[in-house]
Structure 1
């Protein structure tokens, strides 16, 4: 018996083609769903970014290159460079969101995060995991980082799922585990985590599942991920993706990028470069 990733029914093996039987549960479709053109649940969730991915001050989607930056230690909010830049221009050096004085040392940052961890804050647990993963304010301890990421992932933090996916996908400081990488990437992608969606496409491409890779990259491109758009273009040039698919990805990408722009962010970007 196998579960169809589209209709989510448990069906006998002969309800699936030989090719579909060889795929993971989340990526297989029964013959009935294939004939009806029913999409995988994996491809129907995470098609838009969540409110968590918006800057809480300007309410615009955070640029994807900023999305994995550490949160403010005081309130654990992720602020765009534009709002930070605007605050500094006004002479505000404290947190632009909660007005807490900016911590001056790593130990102060760690104390703020630890206080929230002790209170069971999921984002604080994820942040502390990253501290241990990269050795920021604490001695690097990837085993401890994985423990904290897993705890945060259980509490629904998509970034923690993505971090675990990267670790198991790359075999970086942990034993490589493709099944775990897929599972965590999928959990993050279905919650709207764009880099996780892109990485799913890369894993499917390496597994020679071009149809699934293209679907993941189309979704990521429509959410503003440039590497995904580049890969869709590459598949179009090779005749795997159609002109319609590439045009759709290009149009969706540009709309998403426009939504992430603001004069303040443009000013901050110019100053950083």
Structure 2
């Protein structure tokens, strides 16, 4: 049997001491009151239990180590080159749930092909497109679930515009299935709080989930949050990572930190080299021609 209070002991003080017994953090080995641990951590074995500071440090380490490269899902499925970060330079195809760079789209049209350059499906109208997306959603396609959420949010394909509740439900489903774009969309919803209750804690969790999967704008936004909080070293780390993935705004942010004396010349030089390397992997003659056609109205009219 356990210890029983003796007649001369005060039962109240005994149980008070027992309830505030000190525990050892398995990482920093500090003594911490049992009540300072989260419910999840209290369920851990003593040797694997971590205090809040160590949990936060571990999460930060993972955040900075993951998502430093773009995944194969960010490549054009036809030319296999990384897709431009500017989505105006690529087109999403609902028939096959693939994003194709406009260079490959232009190359296909030069050959007289007007259907999808990847799966050869004829270009559908709005009602056919919505039916395609819904069919893929019914089959459990994570990307299709996220896409349908976006269509609800923007009111595309005849759907009611600003149906944020439905969009958020679909984003949540897709996020649980690992779609980084869904995490990013949810983060923006919670951060802005225009159509849902503003919740920065949820926004940060989703930004972090997207960033660890290689979502570049999510990484940039994390840097902005850290900068706003005065954590310039963390902001620099996020912006260095996203600059080396080819994000213009991140490179400019690193430059501003350097000009303000908050980053070194070596930091800016490393960010610039990484940025240039990433950008060099993206262009192609067809992409350059497609971009020129898009930017010149007279060329668009002729084509």
- Give the shorter-chain TM-score range: 0.7 to 0.9
Structure 1 runs of 4+ aligned residues shifted over 4 Å read: 8-14, 21-26, 67-70
Give the distance between the partners of 1:144 and 1:68, measured in 2 at CA: 28
Q: 1:67 to 1:208 in 2, by over 3 A?
A: farther
2:299 match: none
1:125 aligns with 2:127: no
1:45 match: 66
Q: 1:203 aligns with which of 181, 204, 225?
A: 225
1:34 match: none
Moved more, 174-183 or 213-222: 174-183
Give the distance between the partners of 1:114 and 1:84, measured in 2 at CA: 25
1:103 aligns with 2:124: yes
Asked whether the equivalents of residues 71 and 127 of structure 1 are also in contact (C-alpha less than 8 Å), the reply is no
For structure 2, which runs of at least 5 residues remain unmatched after alignment? 1-21, 33-50, 296-303
Give the distance between the partners of 1:10 and 1:73, measured in 2 at CA: 51
With the length of structure 1 as denominator, give the TM-score of the two structures: 0.86
1:162 aligns with 2:174: no
Q: 1:194 to 1:9 in 2, by over 3 A?
A: farther
Give the distance between the partners of 1:90 and 1:162, measured in 2 at CA: 37
For structure 1, which runs of at least 5 residues remain unmatched after alignment? 15-20, 31-38
Asked whether the equivalents of residues 153 and 161 of structure 1 are also in contact (C-alpha less than 8 Å), the reply is yes
1:72 aligns with 2:93: yes
Taking only aligned residues, the RMSD between alpha carbons, in angstroms, comes to 2.5
The aligned runs of 1:4-83 (5 Å cut-off) are 9=27, 12=30, 25-26=55-56, 28=57, 40-66=61-87, 71-83=92-104
Q: 2:166 aligns with which of 144, 153, 156?
A: 144
Asked whether the equivalents of residues 169 and 176 of structure 1 are also in contact (C-alpha less than 8 Å), the reply is yes
3-state secondary structure, aligned to 1:78: strand
Asked whether the equivalents of residues 96 and 119 of structure 2 are also in contact (C-alpha less than 8 Å), the reply is yes
With the length of structure 2 as denominator, give the TM-score of the two structures: 0.78
Aligned residues: 253
Q: 1:222 aligns with which of 232, 244, 249?
A: 244
Q: 1:29 to 1:127 in 2, by over 3 A?
A: closer
The aligned runs of 1:172-211 (5 Å cut-off) are 172-211=194-233
